[in-house]
Amino acid sequence: MENKGIAELFSSIAQRYNLLNHILSLGLDFHWRAKTIKEISPEKHEKILDICAGTGDLSALALKYGAKPLALDLSYSMLKIARKRLKNLPVVLGNALRLPFRERSFDAAVMGFGLRNLKDPASGIREAYRVLRPGGRLAILEFSPEPSWFLRPFYMLYLKKLVPLLGGLITGKREAYLHLSHSIESFLKPREVIELMERTGFSVNYFKLTMGTVVLYIGKKEEQ
């Protein structure tokens, strides 16, 4: 899906986006995001770029550490909600594939459930690398198409049937949640994401969460 289409899709569900996240994940998304921020260990006054920030959930957690997050997203409607929630949060309407920042501008970067929506995930990872200082950290939180083997049949049924059904009932935008299901099922396997990050120049650690349905990738830009 092109950038304009992605922006319009997320803008159409912005008002119910957080509610659906909590319902569809059975509240586990709170844990996933908390671990994401914990693993990059933000220090006071560090500059954190929240890529594909949506309504600012990761930015809100970074603020609790005393860091200085900046939220970037393609959807104005999403950023508007983020600003309403976090009144001092700087936001930028922008494209993760062409970040409007100079090289080495940030101490860390986070991306929550955004990588699979990028037209070119490799370019998104390279852009994150470019704007990080040497030693900077990148955390990517993303769904995986490879859950634990015994969970996979139920996971696929959940994605294909229940997610579009609930999404349609609560938001009236069933097509948006059909896209969500398809984007997870067709996304890169964890080893492929790790390979992209390593080829870019990151040293990588990762955590499989909730029986492998979600993976947290932690990259460190080598000191130069």
Q: Tell me if 158 is assigned to some domain.
A: no
Matching residue, tokens 């030693």: 135
Name the 3-class secondary structure at 105.
coil
- Whether 219 has a pLDDT exceeding 80, the answer reads yes
Q: What are phi and psi of 63, to 5 degrees?
A: -60, -30
Number of domains into which the chain is organized: 1
What CA–CA distance (Å, rounded) separates 78 from 82?
A: 6
Q: Which residue has the higher pLDDT, 8 or 204?
A: 204
Residue 169 lies in a domain: no
Residue 159 DSSP class: I
Give the pTM.
Answer: 0.92
Q: Which domain holds residue 63?
A: 3-147+188-221
Q: Specify the pLDDT at position 167.
A: 82
Residue 181 maps to a domain? no
Question: Which residues make beta-bridge pairs with 139?
Answer: 110, 218
Q: What is the pLDDT of residue 168?
A: 82
Domain membership flag for residue 16: yes
Look at residue 14 and tell me whether its pLDDT is greater than 80.
Answer: no
What digits encode the pLDDT tens for the residues 118-175?
Answer: 999 999 999 999 999 999 999 999 999 999 988 888 988 888 888 888 888 878 888 8
Tokens 């957690």, residue? 61
CB-count exposure of residue 134 (10 Å: 0-12, 13-18, 19+): exposed
* Strand pairing class (132-143; 106-112): parallel
Residue 165 lies in a domain: no
* CATH code: domain of residue 73: 3.40.50.150
Question: Would you say residue 180 lies in a domain?
Answer: no
Q: Is 221 helix (H, G, I), strand (E, B) or coil?
A: strand
Confirm whether 168 is domain-assigned. Answer: no
- Give 1's pLDDT tier (boundaries 50, 70, 90): low
Give domain status of residue 170, yes or no.
Answer: no
Angle formed by the axes of helices 17-24 and 28-40, to 10°? 100
Query: According to the model, what pLDDT value does residue 171 have?
Result: 81
Would you say 111 and 141 are in contact if contact means Cβ atoms under 8 Å apart? yes
pLDDT tens sequence across 16-31? 778 878 888 889 999 9
The model's pLDDT over 162-199, given as tens digits with 9 standing for 90+, comes to 888 888 887 888 887 888 888 999 999 999 999 999 99
Mean pLDDT, rounded, for 197-219: 97
Average pLDDT, the chain: 92
